């Protein structure tokens, strides 16, 4: 994997303590089958001289699937195992030193916990950064959560690939994507699951759906707004369906009657009803009672 072509959407990290009794390679292969498109070996318990066997086994697995393989903390181990790169912590060797050791072809990522650290990583030449922990996580004991605000800051400013990490699960992944993340890393949620493949597939599907939605929004913005009459007033909107228009006006969960050009549109048809220039739309909020 060349640095120039490097990108990913779902990042999986090993955590054998999350799946006692299950084989490391089997668990990570299931994650890859589900859609994980980069794998990191992270093992804080085993001495580095005893990690080479695991690293080589993961290197063989990831080569079979064409997935980049990253080693956490140990650039020398990454070289010996022929990994694609290394992931550093804030207390590990500087990026420049790791680059001298690894050469120009290897990928170097680094964990960041604030926008200031993210900026410094970009200046230092990181190929990607971790943004988090978004939520408290047992894999980072004692590390306070950076929160969704850091995700929003990274989305607004950081141009190199970055991945939201830390406590991300199926229950909160959508709010991380809502905050601007386009890449997710889940550790215990994937490898601690009885079905890592299913969890990976669901996370990847949510990322892909969000990308598709953003692409559609960009295309609409490029087309420009359309003019229509809303409740008797001329207005402009970039919404392209009645459902989008209703949601943008904060009426999605309200009891309303919606009409387009004099025809009532049932709630089930809102998302499938296109808006055309010159349309007359009426949104009437009503309350029940006698």
What pTM was estimated for this model as a whole?
0.77
Q: How confident is the model at residue 140 (pLDDT cuts 50, 70, 90)?
A: low
pLDDT tens for each residue of 197-250: 999 999 999 999 988 877 776 776 777 899 999 999 999 998 889 998 998 998
pLDDT tens for residues 50-59? Answer: 899 999 999 9
Mean of the per-residue pLDDT values of the chain? 92
H or E element at residue 124:
helix 115-124
Concatenating the DSSP letter of every residue in the chain gives: --STT---SEEEE--GGGSTTS-HHHHHHHHHHHT--EEEE--SSS-GGG-HHHHHHHHHHHHHHT--EEEES-HHHHHHTT-SEEEE-TTS--HHHHHHHH-TTSEEEEEESSHHHHHHHHHHT-SEEEE--SS--TTSTTPPP-HHHHHHHHHHH--S-EEEESS--TTTHHHHHHTT-S-EEESHHHHTSS-HHHHHHHHHHHHHHHHHHHHHHHHHHHH--EEEEETTEEEEE---BHHHHHHHTT-TTS-EEEEETTEEE-GGGGGG-B--TT-EEEEEE-----
145-177 residue pLDDT tens? 899 999 999 999 999 999 999 999 999 999 999
Q: Show which residues are catalytic.
A: 42, 111, 140
Of all residues in the chain, what percent carry a pLDDT higher than 70? Answer: 95
Q: Which pLDDT score is estimated for 1?
A: 67
Integer Cα distance of 61 and 110 in angstroms: 23
What average pLDDT does the segment 89-102 reach? 96
């Amino acid at each position: 994997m060349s640095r120039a072509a490097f990108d990913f959407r779902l990042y999986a990290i090993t955590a054998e303590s999350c799946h006692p009794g299950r084989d490391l390679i089997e668990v990570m292969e299931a994650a890859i089958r589900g859609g994980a498109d980069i794998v990191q070996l992270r093992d804080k318990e085993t001495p580095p001289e005893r990690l080479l066997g695991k690293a080589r086994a993961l290197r063989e697995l990831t080569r079979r699937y064409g997935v980049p393989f990253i080693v956490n903390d140990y650039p020398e181990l990454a070289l010996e195992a022929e990994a694609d790169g290394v992931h550093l912590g804030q207390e590990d060797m500087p990026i420049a030193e790791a680059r001298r050791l690894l050469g120009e072809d290897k990928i170097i990522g680094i964990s960041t916990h604030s926008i200031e650290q993210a900026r410094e990583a970009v200046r230092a030449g990181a190929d990607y950064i971790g943004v988090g922990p978004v939520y408290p996580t047992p894999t980072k004991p004692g590390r306070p959560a950076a929160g969704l605000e850091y995700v929003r800051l990274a989305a607004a400013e950081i141009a190199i690939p970055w991945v939201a990490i830390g406590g991300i699960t199926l229950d909160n992944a959508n709010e991380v994507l809502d905050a601007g993340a386009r890449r997710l890393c889940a550790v215990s949620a994937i490898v601690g699951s009885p079905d890592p493949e299913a969890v990976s597939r669901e996370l990847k599907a949510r990322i892909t759906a969000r990308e598709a939605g953003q692409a559609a929004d960009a295309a609409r913005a490029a087309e420009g707004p359309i003019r229509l009459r809303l409740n008797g007033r001329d207005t402009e909107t970039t919404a392209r369906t009645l459902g989008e228009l209703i949601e943008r006006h904060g009426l999605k969960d309200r009891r309303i009657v919606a009409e387009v050009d004099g025809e009532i549109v049932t709630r089930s048809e809102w998302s499938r009803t296109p808006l055309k220039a010159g349309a007359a739309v009426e949104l009437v909020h009503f309350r029940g009672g006698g």
